[in-house]
Structure 1
């Protein structure tokens, strides 16, 4: 079951005093050579460097309200961003977080977790391995099991982002969003369905859990092999993302790793935005032609995270 728009509204009320409102910046022809009226939603400037702060805050504060937050704190498995957000949100509630990371987690995300005081444990080679270790730890310790994306509170918190975008951009037609496990996609789609906005779900071609699920009619396991896998590398989409998508106007498109890298570089060259590969994935759909707006179509591109090592960006 996915959250509804009332859940998104409740999340906004719960987290509004903790979250930075999203900043919107209009694109220009140097950055986006397409016909539409394109805006960047600069959510990479959010607390913890990604949109994940919204869902994490909503989850932790809701659990605290309901008396379900144990003294031992929360635990979750993460490729990095959800763990950072969970550790930050736990601190809001005076609690702690234990985070299980796969071996592939970038050093910059590990450093941010440590700075937030989280207990960081190795979870194995893949996210699925980290998730299994996290389950065992939760059962043994009594810690509250959170999830990087498959939770209605997490998704509802993410949905507050599009409500903010829609309030600032009247007559918004389309939102482009990168997709991993489906938490952001679920929340964005629930809000988009309420506002009558089209959603374009963008994935790396070798990291396509949502695209494959649409083709199969149900969540299926996919191979994960992408430059953006540290943030978009879920092996299977959530059922709630598919349900939400079926209720609205959602289109799935794929981009290559080369296109993602090019989009990331252009965000640096033209806007001096140093973002992670996952955050450049939605923008890659515009640059590559995977999604072509109609003339005058008002489009928001979510730039969702900046927990990256910028040294591979070419100075120009």
Structure 2
């Protein structure tokens, strides 16, 4: 289950929505740098999005969603087990709004601590993301607060897409873009921004291949996963965009992700969490094979891993 439970056609997000989000977010985000280098002998442009405020790309979407909500909410409630909660907590704090994050009991303690550090109220409920979502909906209704579906809201996807507009300015030649799938906001936003003019490729772990399952079933479907703190299916908005933009879903093993993280630290002293290294894992493991001599953009999207787990 994700934040979206309706079977109706999802709202569409277009490049015009992403461009509007960029204007709205001007001065509130870091335009994260791109590092042009070689990895395993291959030309690569690393988009250092892990340097975003809060250590996650998801701040882009959370800020955009709160800035576009009408009427302007005084408090926001959401369900999240990781970076989406951190981003929403930070966005709410910046805008002077109260924020409550409902997290499953399986949520990493390091990420819960980060939510607290940005002033969020954190409530534990259930053992899965779906159970946390159900409680967050109830809590928002009880309080008259805005409920924010952090993976499946048009403004969240459009905000994430601003990253794609930055890449157009930072890297010439429109090379393919590898990015982690997660709940779908990142690849959905990238594909909405870039369309078919620049190829976007989703990467996800074999044990949690949400986009691959959706593309196979032609609709978002639940995927049992070891990581029960996160959504069990890709967002409907992102799936619709991925299908229209022909975004493929590549899968990588946990070992490949670990190897990519080790490479980033060994060669560049870059420390990212597993989801942040998934895109690079596809390149160095051979899951994605670029055209000879062709540059690839790799989005390093998150830096909120547990230091004790390395």
- Band of TM-score, shorter chain: over 0.9
Question: 2:189 aligned to 187, 190, 193, which one?
Answer: 187
Indicate conservation of the 8 Å contact 2:15/2:194, yes or no. Answer: no
Say which SS state the counterpart of residue 300 (structure 1) adopts.
Answer: strand
Question: 1:56 aligned to 57, 62, 65, which one?
Answer: 62
Q: 1:41 aligns to what?
A: 47
Q: 1:201 aligns to what?
A: 202
Q: 2:31 aligns to what?
A: 21
| More off after superposition, 159-168 vs 244-253 | 244-253
Q: 1:95 aligns to what?
A: 97
**In structure 2, C-alpha distance between the alignment counterparts of 1:95 and 1:312, rounded to whole Å:** 33
Change in CA separation of 1:215 and 1:21 when aligned onto 2, cut-off 3 Å: same
Deviation at 1:297, TM superposition (A): 1.7
Indicate conservation of the 8 Å contact 2:55/2:303, yes or no. Answer: yes
Q: Quick check: 1:10 aligned with 2:20?
A: yes
Say which SS state the counterpart of residue 221 (structure 2) adopts.
Answer: coil
Say which SS state the counterpart of residue 207 (structure 2) adopts.
Answer: coil
TM-score w.r.t. the length of structure 1 is: 0.91
Q: 1:154 aligns to what?
A: 156
Say which SS state the counterpart of residue 225 (structure 1) adopts.
Answer: coil
Q: 1:70 aligns to what?
A: 73
- CA deviation map 1:166-209 (0-9, x unaligned): 11112122000101111111101111216x11111101001011
Deviation at 1:70, TM superposition (A): 3.0
**In structure 2, C-alpha distance between the alignment counterparts of 1:98 and 1:8, rounded to whole Å:** 27
| More off after superposition, 105-114 vs 134-143 | 105-114
Question: 1:281 aligned to 278, 301, 304, which one?
Answer: 278
Deviation at 1:82, TM superposition (A): 0.9
Deviation at 1:27, TM superposition (A): 2.6
- CA deviation map 1:94-119 (0-9, x unaligned): 11100011122222211111111110
Indicate conservation of the 8 Å contact 1:77/1:130, yes or no. Answer: yes
Point out where structure 2 has 5 or more consecutive residues left out of the alignment: 1-10
Q: Quick check: 1:248 aligned with 2:264?
A: no
- CA deviation map 1:185-241 (0-9, x unaligned): 1101111216x1111110100101100111111111111125xx75xx421112222
**In structure 2, C-alpha distance between the alignment counterparts of 1:246 and 1:109, rounded to whole Å:** 32
Indicate conservation of the 8 Å contact 1:49/1:305, yes or no. Answer: yes
**In structure 1, C-alpha distance between the alignment counterparts of 2:35 and 2:46, rounded to whole Å:** 5
Question: 2:120 aligned to 118, 121, 126, which one?
Answer: 118
Query: How many residue pairs align between the two structures?
Result: 300
Say which SS state the counterpart of residue 69 (structure 1) adopts.
Answer: coil
Deviation at 1:130, TM superposition (A): 0.8
| More off after superposition, 205-214 vs 246-255 | 246-255
Question: 2:146 aligned to 144, 147, 170, which one?
Answer: 144
Indicate conservation of the 8 Å contact 1:161/1:188, yes or no. Answer: yes
Deviation at 1:34, TM superposition (A): 4.6
**In structure 2, C-alpha distance between the alignment counterparts of 1:192 and 1:224, rounded to whole Å:** 30
Say which SS state the counterpart of residue 154 (structure 1) adopts.
Answer: helix
Q: 1:304 aligns to what?
A: 301
TM-score w.r.t. the length of structure 2 is: 0.93
